[in-house]
Structure 1
Amino acid sequence: MDEALTKKLRILADAAKYDASCASSGAKRRSNDASPADKAGLGSTTGMGICHAYTPDGRCVSLLKILLTNYCLFDCAYCINRRSSNVKRARFRTEEVVQLTVEFYKRNYIEGLFLSSGIVRTPNDTMEQLILVAKTLRQQHGFRGYIHLKTIPEADPWLIEQAGLWADRLSINIELPTAQGLARLAPEKNETTIATAMGQMHERIVQARDERRHFSPAGQSTQMIVGADDSTDAHVLKTSDSLYRNYALKRVYYSAFSPIPEASAHLPLKPPPLQRENRLYQADWLLRSYGFSVEEIAAGGENGMLPLDIDPKLAWALKNRDRFPVDINTADREMLLRVPGLGSRAVDKILSARRHVALRMEDLARLTTGLKRARAFLVAADHTPAGLIDRLDLREQLVEPAAQLSLF
């Protein structure tokens, strides 16, 4: 790789690190049955700028994560690449991104590409360049690896539709939890424009799925910056819940605000605790997979903020002690999912095992690693918590070590 390209890669890979919405979950290996190039194509999603993402079954995949350029017409206060920012600038040519992707794949460095960009000239021009990269990889190089394109809501809807023909996943950043925050910190962006683009993308994805044709098969996702404005965790989760319900997003990603040089006076001087980001991800999981409502999750904290010392499921359980303990041998799945320490896989194993035998605590120890947290909330064939649930110091007994960021 020549020195000029290496310099660009260093700048534009570093500029892309603030985008959290980088994952290949839900993507399947592309198949073009009519194309001979498919059988000899590059890349697979089954199985400097390189990031690691995880699929739902726990596999780790490596992606080249870069910006096409960090020049930008917009001046969003929270963005390091904003128009008024004094940072080193660079711009890839589309053929350079294609070259990097193919060469990195052949060296077994990556399995896919995550490509975003600042907006230059016009939104349409930038969107066309992003599409050209993906189209060239697919058509000229037979690339079958995962491609995630960041789309620009201000671009023509036809261009976004074209992007879905070549990408496995598309995403549009919602940016901030509230319209008020967006108007104050990114006045050149518009909540209605973003929502409209998300809605159009959702319609295309559903239509393509019904017609069994290719269009962004891994769906769409978004990113939300946390801590740049005064939005509470409840505000954040209400926005996420609305996005999941209205647009069937695969994921909402949370990115803790990081102070930037020469920052606007509207921005906080310090970043939020990183633990806040982690608790939001845990709460998001409760929304998507455990049947919790935003109101239930928010009620576990104070003033709309999630507690930092305990996970949101445990916080809810401690606020609802009257619903515990539950009998591991008779409780329904929905209630078992609300027991601290029991994840969905453990609950499914419990439901399967108890059809054959009355479960004891030693059985639970084999089915879950979260028995310490679950013990006070459960009844088993050989165990009754005997007042544990009413202990005043129960919270202190179950607080996670500071370095532990485990899920439920």
Structure 2
Amino acid sequence: MNQKTQEKLEILADAAKYDVSCSSSGSKRKNTRTGLGNSTGSGICHTYTEDGRCVSLLKILLTNFCIYDCAYCVSRSSNDIKRAAFTVDEVVDLTINFYRRNYIEGLFLSSGIFKNADYTMERLVRIAKKLRLEHQFNGYIHLKAIPGASEELLDEAGLYADRLSVNIEIPSEMSLKKVAPEKNYKDVLEPMGYLKTRIKGYKEERKQIKKAPLFAPAGQSTQLVVGATPENDLKVLQLADSLYQQQSLKRVYYSGYIPIPTDNRLPVLKAPPLVRENRLYQADWLLRFYGFKVDEIVSEAFPELDLEMDPKMAYALRHPALFPVDVNKADYEMILRIPGVGVKSAQKIIQARRFGQLRFEHLKKIGVVLKRARYFLVCADKDFLHLGWDPDTIRSQILHADPKNRKAAQLSLF
């Protein structure tokens, strides 16, 4: 790698770190005898496949030049930063060379907007096309679908990329207009809807014709920046839920706003809201895998997530009438709502109790986190009534049980 390319890589890899919508889960593109790479094997960005294995991706921007002046973005046109841009061939060569050195297993490629949406999108598509067709690269490719790009370019992108993402960024259009006046929701939601239709259409075609081409097999994702504008967690999660339901998105990513003190359109923060970001990911997990509704996690009465408690624990403490849950009698959906019980543990409980009453030792072996779950369940030989069932008492005991573990308890998932 020559010095000029090395300098570009340092600039554009650093600029890409602000885009968190990076995941390789959901794609099963296999290699061929004459091809290079695949997206089904084990694992410079780390992400995870749908079966939990770690995968390394080359995560870069094509350029950090941008015609837009979004207040929250470090690459905005008015920001005085060092600029750089890769050529199509430079990105292709970097990807192939990094793969052959076993540094990466795929490419995450985003970009600032130079000239216009189509001009930028065409270059992103050329990179993916060249990797697939000229180099027979079968590793994972995640491309940004540039808002406002033509349907023809989106079609091509879906044929060569495993996942596409159109970033909304700001959780309401009113706030978007204030911090990014050149952008609007229409330019984001229209390509999302188009890609949803195309993904569904190609899936139906593959049911009839096995050799029909793949089209964005890992689906779509988007990113929401939190903390840059005044929307509360209720508003953020309502938007995320509508995107899952209406646009069939695979993931919504949340990015805590990193303060940029030079722009008076944005709030002055001492640090990024990382705990809030973590809570939103936990709440998102509840929506996607635990059967929760948005109004069960946050509501008009409780519009913000509890920063001291994960949202599942907070839900349990707000609904003492539902607990404790008898693990030997309750249905699967209710067992899932016990803090400290995950999806796999709940499935094991349902399977195991067919052979006899579950006792405390059984729950430990199944993997239930009993330090948290014990306040909210009953089993054959334990009812934990001596611990007290008052929500305030439980909260105090969990937060103050061990000062060394307090931070871990606050950030733990379920």
Same-fold call, TM cutoff 0.5? yes
Q: Secondary structure at the match of 2:355?
A: coil
The question of whether the paired residues in 2 share the 8 Å contact of 1:228 and 1:268 is answered with no
- TM-score (norm. length: structure 1): 0.95
Matched ranges for 1:52-91 at <5 A: 52-91=46-85
Question: Which residue does the alignment assign to 2:343?
Answer: 344
Tell me which amino acid in the other structure corresponds to 1:362: E
Tell me the amino acid that sits aligned with residue 339 of structure 2.
P
Partner residue in 2 for 1:314: 313
1:102-141 equivalences in 2 (<5 Å) = 102-141=96-135
Instruction: Report what 1:294 is aligned to.
Output: 294
* CA distance, structure 2, for counterparts of residue 276 and residue 369 of structure 1: 26
Say whether the 8 Å CA contact 1:25–1:55 is kept in structure 2: yes
SS of the equivalent of 2:98 reads helix
CA distance in 1, matches of 2:349, 2:269: 48
- Aligned partner letter, 1:141: H
Alpha-carbon deviations, 1:344-378, whole Å to 9, x = none? 00000111111111100110011124111111111
Q: Does 1:406 align with 2:405?
A: no
Structure 1 residue 302, shift from structure 2 partner: 6.3
1: CA distance, partners of 2:34 / 2:269? 52
Identity %: 55
TM (normalized to structure 2)?
0.94
Which range moves more in the overlay, 277-286 or 253-262?
A: 253-262
Give, in angstroms, the shift of residue 192 of structure 1: 1.6
Give 5+ residue unaligned stretches, structure 1: 32-37
Aligned residues: 399
Structure 2: gaps (5+ residues): 207-212, 400-404
Q: What is the SS of the residue equivalent to 1:393?
A: helix
Equivalent residues of 1:226, 1:256 under 8 A apart? yes
Q: Residue 337 of structure 1 contacts residue 344 of structure 1 at CA under 8 Å; is this kept in 2?
A: yes
Q: How far did residue 316 of structure 1 move?
A: 0.3
**Which residue number corresponds to residue 255 of structure 1?**
255
- Tell me, in whole angstroms, the C-alpha distance in 1 between the residues paired with 2:34 and 2:301: 57
Match of 1:158 in 2: 152
Task: Give the letter for the 1:251 counterpart.
Answer: R
What is the 5 A alignment of 1:10-25?
10-25=10-25
Give the AA of the match of 1:314.
M
Amino acid at match of 2:18: Y
Work out the CA distance in 1 between the residues paired with 2:360 and 2:390: 20
Q: Counterpart of 2:374 in 1: which secondary structure?
A: helix
Aligned-partner SS, 1:114: strand
Give yes or no for the alignment of 1:377 onto 2:371: no
What root-mean-square deviation, in Å, do the aligned CA atoms of Structure 1 and Structure 2 show?
1.4
1:92-103 equivalences under 5 Å are 92-103=86-97
**3-state SS of 1:141 partner:** coil
Q: Does the 8 Å contact 2:39/2:139 carry over to 1?
A: yes
Q: 1:375 to 1:269 in 2, by over 3 A?
A: closer
> C-alpha distance in 2, partners of 1:289/1:316?
16
> How far apart are the structure 1 equivalents of 2:35 and 2:392?
62
Q: Deviations over 1:81-108 (max 9, x none)?
A: 0011101000000000000000000000
Give the residue type in structure 2 aligned to 1:186: A
Give the secondary structure class of the aligned counterpart of 2:309. Answer: coil
The CA deviation string for residues 243-279 of structure 1, in whole angstroms up to 9 with x for no partner, is 0000110000000000125223334343443111000
Deviation at 1:390, TM superposition (A): 2.5
Give the SS at the match of 2:192: helix
* 3-state SS of paired residue (1:285): helix
Match of 2:93, as an amino acid?
Answer: Q
